[in-house]
Amino acid sequence: QSILSMNSIEVLYDNVMLAIKGVSVQVPKGGMVALLGSNGAGKSTTLKAISGLLKAERGHISRGEIKFDGTDITEMLAQKRVEMGICHVIEGRRVFEHLTPDENLTAAAPMGMSRSELSVQKDKIYDYFPRLAERRNSQAGYLSGGEQQMLAIGRALVTQPSLLMLDEPSLGLAPFLVAEIFGILQKINREEGLSVLLVEQNALAALEIVSEGYLIENGRVVMHGTAEALKSNS
């Protein structure tokens, strides 16, 4: 059973630039799936179509349908999708640099979350990311790249999503940090049943943690298979 079912999605930017040309992607409930492919292939656009962030970039879905947990979300507002449990960690690890990690997590909490619930969620996040826990009261702008990426993921987790989408979390990080962050993502997936859709240019690292992947080239899916099959093909 799929938590996400994207069927033949086409996206146009500025009404003229066809960025993806009929992409279909399924994420099984509790699964971990990677979108791989080179720069400009259409991976980020695919994530934005799912989270509803196209509008801000003058993009729109011109064909196809996206279902989340059985509900058609193709035209749904981005905020509504967040409330439904879709969370998108955009490329570039955006955090509030003048706030501490702790304050960043508070700021990311959904409206109406109680103090005690927030504190439970924070403890859980700090348990998963001990490096972040150590820096919880430092200014986020002074954190290392890896710590900022952990915080960006923590900000997503505080909303308790059922689908976590990550855009190039490994970008610019040392290999040991990529391994550490990917290992934690895999742990969260296993322990919480969180479904994950991971966009990566670093295919080798991604294929270590996902069960299946899609290779996207020039706006189309050119290969879909298990991590094992994709590894032997790359």
Which residues here bind ligand ADP, judged by CB under 6 A? 13-14, 17, 19, 37, 39-45, 57, 59, 142-147
8 Å CB contact between 203 and 43: no
Distance CA 50, CA 76 (A): 10
Tell me the C-alpha distance between 31 and 27, whole Å.
6
Q: Which of helix, strand or coil describes residue 66?
A: strand
Question: 31 or 101, CB closer to ligand ADP?
Answer: 101
Q: Provide the minimum distance between the beta carbon of 166 and ligand ADP in the complex, in angstroms, as a whole number.
A: 12
Inter-CA distances, 101 with 167, 171, 201, 219, Å: 20, 20, 27, 36
Which class for 88: exposed (0-12), middle (13-18), buried (19 or more C-beta within 10 A)?
buried
Min dist CB 221 to ligand ADP, Å, is 12
- Least separation, in Å, of the C-beta of 78 and ligand ADP? 15
As measured in angstroms, the least distance from the Cβ of 203 to ligand ADP is 12
